[in-house]
Amino acid sequence: MLLVHFLREELGLTGTKIGCDTSQCGACVVSMNGSTVKSCTCLAVQADGAEIATIEGLANGSELHPMQEAFWDNHGLQCGYCTAGMIMTAVEMLERNPHPSSDEVRAGLEGNLCRCTGYQNIVKSILAAAEKMDGHAHNDETGGHAHHDH
């Protein structure tokens, strides 16, 4: 079973989307042990013992993660299908590079496709989140995190 199917069907974490099933679009991006992975090409068994974070785990209760707020405030989505994967990718991007340039953001999104927005507001959202976060990781100890152990 693929990790994306395990998350969606077994755990009910449907924020992770199935877009292409070939690792091209990035709609299925989740964090595994702190690094983003495309869950449509990762077997659930490969996640055994790993900490998996999904879009559901970014918010702290009703308090949105700064990246989620930035996407909301800057209209970084249109249909929303790619948004969870974009946000998960962007969060890791800022952990690696807290102050990216516009070109660095665009390069960092190469594995995530958006068919609606033209990317302009997505890049704007990520840069706004970088400014708001100012290099500080957003700690969250609640929901959306699954410790997969069989």
Residues 78 and 129 in one domain: yes
Quote the domain boundaries for residue 87.
66-133
Separation CA 130–CA 95 (nearest Å):
10
Residue 138 falls within a domain, yes or no?
no
Name the H helices within 35-150.
66-73, 83-96, 102-108, 120-133
Q: What is the pTM of this model?
A: 0.87
Separation CA 3–CA 45 (nearest Å):
8
Cα Rg of the chain, angstroms: 14
Residues 73 and 47 in one domain: no
Residues 52 and 108 in one domain: no
pLDDT digits (tens, 9 = 90+) for 114-147: 999 999 999 999 999 999 998 455 444 334 444 4
Whichever domain contains 115, its CATH number is 1.10.150.120
Residues 42 and 76 in one domain: no
Write out the two tokens for 10: 């077994």
